[in-house]
Amino acid sequence: MESSATRDRGPRRLRRLEEVWSTHRHPLFFVTFCTADRRRWLACEEVLVEFRAFAARSPQKADVWVGRFVLMPDHVHVFVGAEGSPALSRWVGSMKGFLASRRRARGFPGAAWQEGFFDHVLRSSESYDEKWDYVRMNPVRAGLVARPEDWPFAGEIHQLDW
């Protein structure tokens, strides 16, 4: 049976998200997006420079702040502070479009990205640092480097405080 609290304020999951939106102007999202057919074209110096340049302009252009990130050969993990889901969706679409256009300019035809992306809003009980520790180990787990600090395609654009 539905309680009056649920009827009045919505499902428990939505109430938790309302708490995130009300206490943080820019909720922190963990985002992953993948290349089309998992083609391995992201982990290179050109893409890193383009990604960093786009991310550095994001607060002024999209009201989005890019924190820590890891560019894997076929996917991106990034922590983003944004005004909410609509701003995040626009930013991901713009980032994907920008990197795809740069890829085409370098002579690579075909689709660049899988449709959509995965996002997870971090709640107060979750730790940005704990999530980051997991993400930064991806190149090690993939056998690309022995230590996470040896992976050159990771970093931080803006310091995001939870």
Collect all residues with Cβ–Cβ distance below 8 Å to 109 and sequence separation of at least 6: none
pLDDT the model gives residue 11: 42
Residue 56 lies in a domain: yes
* DSSP character string of the chain: ---HHHHHH--HHHHHHHHHHHH-SS-EEEEEEEBGGG---SSSHHHHHHHHHHHHHHHHHHSEEEEEEEE-SSEEEEEEEESSHHHHHHHHHHHHHHHHHHHHHTT--S--B-SS-EEEEPPTTS-HHHHHHHHHTHHHHTTS-SSGGG-SSEEESS----
pLDDT per position in the chain (162 positions), as tens?
444 444 444 444 333 344 444 444 568 999 999 999 999 999 999 999 999 999 999 999 999 999 999 999 999 999 999 988 889 999 999 999 999 999 999 999 899 999 999 999 887 656 888 899 999 999 999 999 999 999 999 999 999 876
Residue 126 lies in a domain: yes
Specify the number of domains making up the chain: 1
Residue 162 lies in a domain: no
Domain containing residue 79: CATH number: 3.30.70.1290
Look up the domain containing 111 and give its range: 4-156
> The tokens of 21 are what?
């939106």
Residue 84 lies in a domain: yes
Residue 122 lies in a domain: yes
pLDDT the model gives residue 124: 66
Residue 52 lies in a domain: yes
Residue 161 lies in a domain: no
